[in-house]
């Protein structure tokens, strides 16, 4: 997929294909998405992480069908986005802006599931300073079903141990190595303290004690209930870091989506139990070392993993007029 074939590939009907929109909307679809994502990230860089996570959470539940975008209704008060597993999910405003721009250029042409897939690619490209780039297979339709219970059943939990993570990803066709690769997305974004509160009492063998007590515990005690903390120690306030500055991988060329997550993992300065857990197993540890040592390889393999994530077409019901509601 890295070769980014421009032509539509011959595949089975219903399978997303590269170049699907080339002959639609005057070939402007991917450009409209890219420009809208760029404007959104120029205004608020943190929206990039939000878009990458939205895409993952869409595709892991019922395939990539835009089901994560549906708002609660009288008939369906608990869609996916109301699930505890979707705590902190954001970036819906960016998807709305992309959809509005596409609807005005060519109504009822581009599905919200495809918008999510393009937006995640474009956000990854922006945040990696072009290091991550790939052709996105497209042509999905949107589902009309969205259930919080489905999200709870399918999405991985931050307190999972490595065996549970491996089987959660295996259920979607991902290898332990691919689990390691996609986890590198935690080099960006932020998390609520409730998502890693268990780590505040984890033993020193599982988390750097200075990081635990002087950074995470302090941040979580301060301010509002359940505040958010940066996923990557690199993005913490420099004065708070104390003796941890030696672990901080500088953002190369300002790119923030990079392999620094793996260096953090090896130094026990990652947020979630699940992040720490993948260092603790033979099936995954060697890949953590591999990607800590080779950022270029990680960029390429992350791109391939996102293409794989984008492949399940999910439901084939409709092209929504707005991403937050089904057409009828």
Among 32, 40, 52, 64, the residue binding ligand HEM under the rule CB under 6 A is 52
Does residue 158 belong to the site contacting ligand HEM (CB under 6 A)?
yes
Conformational region of residue 66, where left means phi above 0, alpha means psi within -120 to 50, and beta covers everything else: left
Does residue 88 belong to the site contacting ligand HEM (CB under 6 A)?
yes
* Candidate list 57, 192, 273, 287, residue with the active-site label: 57
Does residue 283 belong to the site contacting ligand HEM (CB under 6 A)?
no
**Number of shown-chain residues binding ligand HEM (CB under 6 A):** 26
Among 38, 90, 285, 289, the residue binding ligand HEM under the rule CB under 6 A is 90
Residue 57 annotated as catalytic:
yes
Does residue 182 belong to the site contacting ligand HEM (CB under 6 A)?
yes
CA–CA gap between residue 261 and residue 278 (Å, rounded): 12
113 CB-near residues (< 8 Å, 6+ apart): 58, 64, 65, 66, 140, 141, 142, 143, 313, 314
Does residue 66 belong to the site contacting ligand HEM (CB under 6 A)?
no
Among 49, 69, 136, 233, the residue binding ligand HEM under the rule CB under 6 A is 49
Decide: 136 and 307 in contact? Cβ < 8 Å: yes
Q: Write out the DSSP string of 124-193.
A: HHHHTTTSS--PPEE---B-S---HHHHHHHSPPTT--HHHHHHHHHTTT--HHHHHHHHGGGGS-EEEG
Among 274, 284, 315, 326, the residue binding ligand HEM under the rule CB under 6 A is 274
Say whether 229 sits in a helix, a strand or coil. Answer: strand
Which residues, listed in sequence order, are joined to residue 191 by a DSSP beta bridge? 229
Write down the least CB distance from residue 48 to ligand HEM, Å.
Answer: 8
Decide: 33 and 327 in contact? Cβ < 8 Å: no
Write down the least CB distance from residue 7 to ligand HEM, Å.
Answer: 27
CA–CA gap between residue 181 and residue 122 (Å, rounded): 18
Does residue 280 belong to the site contacting ligand HEM (CB under 6 A)?
no
Write down the least CB distance from residue 103 to ligand HEM, Å.
Answer: 25
Among 72, 76, 96, 157, the residue binding ligand HEM under the rule CB under 6 A is 157
Does residue 189 belong to the site contacting ligand HEM (CB under 6 A)?
yes
89 CB-near residues (< 8 Å, 6+ apart): 50, 53, 54, 57, 68, 81
Using CB under 6 A as the criterion, which residues of the chain lie in contact with ligand HEM when the complex forms? 49-50, 52-53, 56, 87-88, 90, 156-158, 160, 165, 182-183, 185-186, 188-192, 195, 231, 272, 274
Active-site residue numbers? 57
């Amino acid at each position: 997929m890295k070769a980014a074939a421009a032509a539509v590939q011959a595949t089975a009907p219903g399978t997303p294909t590269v170049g699907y929109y080339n002959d639609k909307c005057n070939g402007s679809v991917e450009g409209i998405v890219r420009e809208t994502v760029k404007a959104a990230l120029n205004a608020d860089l943190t929206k990039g992480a939000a878009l990458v996570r939205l895409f993952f959470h869409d595709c892991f539940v019922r395939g990539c069908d835009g089901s994560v975008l549906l708002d609660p209704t009288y008939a369906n008060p608990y869609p996916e986005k109301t699930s505890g597993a979707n705590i902190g999910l954001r970036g819906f405003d960016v998807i709305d802006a992309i959809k509005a721009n596409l609807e005005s250029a060519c109504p009822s042409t581009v599905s919200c599931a495809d918008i999510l897939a393009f937006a995640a690619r474009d956000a990854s490209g922006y945040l990696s300073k072009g290091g991550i780039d790939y052709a996105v297979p497209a042509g999905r339709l949107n589902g009309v079903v969205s259930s919080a219970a489905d999200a709870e059943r399918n999405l991985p939990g931050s307190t999972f141990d490595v065996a549970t993570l491996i089987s959660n990803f295996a259920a979607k066709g991902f290898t332990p190595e691919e689990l390691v690769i996609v986890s590198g997305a935690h080099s960006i974004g932020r998390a609520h303290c409730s998502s890693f509160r268990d780590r505040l009492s984890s033993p020193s063998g599982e988390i750097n004690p200075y990081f635990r007590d002087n950074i995470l515990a302090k941040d979580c005690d301060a301010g509002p209930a359940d505040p958010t903390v940066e996923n990557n120690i690199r993005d913490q306030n420099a004065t708070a870091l104390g003796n941890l500055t030696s672990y901080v991988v500088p953002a190369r060329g300002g790119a923030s989506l990079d392999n620094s997550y793996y260096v953090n993992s090896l130094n026990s300065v990652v947020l979630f139990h699940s992040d720490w857990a993948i260092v603790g197993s033979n099936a995954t540890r060697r890949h953590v070392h591999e990607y800590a040592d080779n950022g270029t390889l990680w960029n390429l393999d992350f791109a391939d993993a996102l293409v794989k994530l984008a492949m399940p077409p999910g439901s084939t019901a409709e092209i929504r007029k707005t991403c937050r509601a089904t057409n009828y």
